[in-house]
Amino acid sequence: MGAASWDTFERYRQKGLDARRAGQWDSARIYLLEAARSMVALSKESGGEELREGRRQMAARLLELARDCEQAANQNRPASANRAHRSSDGSATAAEEDGGASASQWIVRQRSGLRFDDVAGLEDAKEDIRLKMLYPLQYPDLAERFGVKPGGGVLLYGPPGTGKTMLAKATAGEIDATFFVISPADVLSKWVGEAEQNIKKLFDAAAAEERAIIFIDEIEALVPARKDEGSSVMQRVVPQILQGMEGFDKKTGRPVLFMGATNVPWQLDPAVLRPGRFDEKVYVPLPDAIARRKLLDIYLGKRPLAAEIDLNALAARLDRYSGADIKYICDRSATIPFLKSVASGEEGTITGKILEDVIADTKPSVSNEMLRRFEQWSVAGA
C-alpha cells in the first residue's frame, strides 16, 4: 500500500491545510482527519520504531489541527446548527426541525460550456462515455428497441492531473445536462444524521432536473472499503449512496448519470463497482503525443514564443507528463520572460532554453510504479 497511501496522505493533508487557510473549517476538519488516518496506516508499515513514532506524532498533530478546526467551526456556526451538532442520539437535527436546510446552500449546479472537442485526446474514454450515456439519449427509439437504458454510473479512474474533471464537465455539455459538482467535504458533515440527509438532498435535487449528472471527485473518500473504515458515519453514508445510485431516477424516469473520479480506485468499496452502480469504468490515461500537442496549443498558442520552438518536438519531449504537469511547465515558462520584460521594459519571448530548463526542473508527477498499479487494477478490479 506504501506509495498509494503516501499519495493519499499528501492529497488530504494539502486539501486540509488549504481549506483551513480559507476558513472552510468543516471541510478542513474532514480532510485533516483523513490525512491523520492515512498517516496512522503508514506508521504501521514503517520498518523502524523511530520512523513509526515520527509518523504517529505527525498523525497526532493533524488530529490537533482538526480539533482546532472543529472549535473554529462551532464559534462561527449559528446557534441552531450548534444544537444539531450537540445531538448524539441520531435524533432529528435542528436543520430538520426548522424545515431542512436548502440543498442550494451546498450543492453547486452548473451548465457546462465544454464539449468533447475541448478535451485534448482521451478518444477511447470519450467513446466509452458515448456508448454509456450519449447514444441512448441521441437514439431513444433504437435504445428502447434494444432495451438499452440511459443513465447509470461511470467511474473515471487514472493518474492525477489527466483531465477526469474536465471530461465529466464535457459529458454534461454534450447532453446539455445540469452538472452537480460535489466534493466529499460538502457531504460529510460531523453533525449526527446530517451526512445521510445531505446525500438524500443531492439525489432529490438531481431527480428534479430534466437531465442531470452528479459528479463527485475523490469519490474514494465517500465510498471507501467499509471493512477498512472505522467511522460509524461512513457505515451509514455508504449504503445511502448505493441506494441512491440504484433508485433515485426510477421515481421520474429521467436519466441521471452518476460520475465519480478517483486516483486510487483500489480504495473504493467493492459494492459500488457492481453492475447497476458503476456500470462503466473508464480509464483516463496520461496524454498521448496528439493530446500533448493539443495541450501545448492551448497553453502556449497565445503566448509569445521564440521562432525556433518546435511544438511537435516539444510534445514528444513531454512523454509521461500529465496534462496538469504540462500546464505547469507552460505557465512557469511564461512567468520567466514576463518578469524579465517587466524589469527591462522590453518584451521578451518564451525561448527553447527556458522551456528546457523548466522541463529539466520538473519531474513527471506520475511514476512508473503508479502506472503499473493502474494496469493491475484494470485487470483485477475493473
Which cell goes with 227? Answer: 471493512
C-alpha cell at 91: 435524533
Q: 10 Å Cβ neighbour count for 313?
A: 10
Rounded CA-CA distance 238/199 in Å is 10
Q: Considering the entire predicted model, what is its pTM?
A: 0.69
Please report the sign of the dihedral spanned by the C-alpha atoms of residue 242, residue 246, residue 248, residue 251.
Answer: negative
**CB within 8 Å of 238: residues ≥ 6 apart:** 222, 223, 224, 226, 229, 269, 271, 272
d(CA 276, CA 31): 30
Please check whether residue 258 is in contact with residue 155, taking contact to mean a CB–CB distance below 8 angstroms: no
Report how far residue 119's alpha carbon sits from residue 232's, in angstroms, rounded to the nearest whole number.
Answer: 40
Distance CA 333, CA 362 (A): 11
Q: Phi then psi for 263, rounded to 5 degrees?
A: -95, -5
Asked whether 257 and 171 are in contact (CB, 8 A), the reply is yes
Which residues of the chain are under the pLDDT cut of 50?
1-4, 79-103, 190, 192, 228-230
Helix pair angle (49-76, 2-21), 10° resolution:
30
Q: Supply the Cα-derived Rg of the chain in whole angstroms.
A: 23
The pLDDT assigned to 297 comes to: 93
| Dist CA 109 CA 125 (whole Å) | 24
C-alpha pair distances (Å), 293 with each of 123, 296, 327: 15, 5, 12
The pLDDT value given to residue 3: 44
Q: Which of 305, 314, 317, 218 is nearest to 268 (CA)?
A: 218
Distance between CA 265 and CA 345 in Å, rounded?
51
For residue 196 the three cell numbers come to: 445521510
* Most distant pair of Cα atoms in the chain: their distance: 70
Hunting for cell 440511459 — which residue is that? 150
**Separation CA 273–CA 139 (nearest Å):** 27
**Hey, what domains does the chain have and what are their CATH numbers?**
2-86 (1.20.58), 101-286 (3.40.50.300), 289-365 (1.10.8.60)
Rounded Cα–Cα distance for residues 147 and 134 (Å)? 15
Cβ proximity of 239 and 245 under 8 Å: no
Residue with cell 426541525: 97
The string of DSSP codes covering 42-102 is HHHH-SSHHHHHHHHHHHHHHHHHHHHHHHHHHHHS-HHHHHHHH--SSPPPHHHHTT---
Residue 354, all three cell numbers: 527556458
The pLDDT value recorded for residue 226 is: 55
* Euclidean distance between CA atoms 220 and 234, whole angstroms: 11
Beta strands in the chain (DSSP E): 108-111, 152-157, 178-182, 212-217, 256-262, 278-283
* pLDDT reported for residue 244: 67
Helix, strand, coil share (%) of the chain residues, nearest 5 = 60, 10, 30
